[in-house]
Structure 1
Amino acid sequence: MNDLELKDQLNRIEDALCNNKAVLTADEVSLFTGLSKKYIYTLTSKKQIPFYKPLGKVLYFSKKEVEEWMLTNGVKSSQQLASEATSYILNNKISK
């Protein structure tokens, strides 16, 4: 097995681990989100990402909560905004 195949296999194993676990470490959150581990720690120090510290030292993250956090501050597409505007206009006609 060459280095490229080994690296690919390792990446698949890491993906499988992150996808099947409910509780993640900072390293796994970094892999899962694509954010650097340093930035993950910055977010925790600013309390901008949900985390747990049961023994006062090691950080743990709920995968579900990290997914929810990743989906905050959504931006609607132009098509969604146009559809909502049309619905609003049709449902809120002003009678003369």
Structure 2
Amino acid sequence: MDANEVIIEKLNKLETLLVSSVKQILTVEDLINYTGFSRSYIYKLVHKNILPYSKPNGKTLFFQKNEIDSFLLQNKSVSNAQLTQKAFDYVAKSK
């Protein structure tokens, strides 16, 4: 693969990522690019009703970007600094 082909490939990937980041309704392909999940993992999450989706025509899957963002950010871990701050706030409030 020569340098021009590498550059074209990288530009195509960038274009795909930019288009996916602007869209509010995502297809499976868009979701693959947006999350980095594999196709099989997405279908597994859909099959188990873990990932919110729409299937208006009974065949094609669509995903709302804001629902995907919420899914990706669930089960957030608290840092040690945040935990310490909560403890200080609790003790100060209890006095």
Normalised by the shorter chain, which TM-score bucket? over 0.9
Counterpart position of 2:50: 48
Moved over 6 A (4+): none
- Equivalent residues in 2 for 1:73-92 (5 A)? 73-92=75-94
The amino acid of 1:5's aligned partner reads I
Counterpart position of 1:30: 32
Per the alignment, in what secondary structure is the counterpart of residue 33 of structure 2? helix
Deviation (angstroms), 1:15: 1.0
Query: Could you tell me which of 6, 10, 13 is aligned with 2:12?
Result: 10
Counterpart position of 1:61: 63
Distance 2:78 2:9 in 1: 37
What CA RMSD, in Å, does the superposition of the two structures yield over aligned residues?
Answer: 1.0
Distance 1:3 1:48 in 2: 39
Distance 1:30 1:24 in 2: 10
Distance 1:27 1:68 in 2: 19
Distance 2:88 2:78 in 1: 15
Determine whether 1:21 maps to 2:23: yes
Unaligned runs of 5+ in 1: none
Q: How many residues align?
A: 93
Per the alignment, in what secondary structure is the counterpart of residue 53 of structure 1? coil
Per the alignment, in what secondary structure is the counterpart of residue 18 of structure 2? helix
Aligned sequence identity (%):
31
Deviation (angstroms), 1:53: 0.3
State TM-score, norm by structure 2.
0.93
Deviation (angstroms), 1:79: 0.4
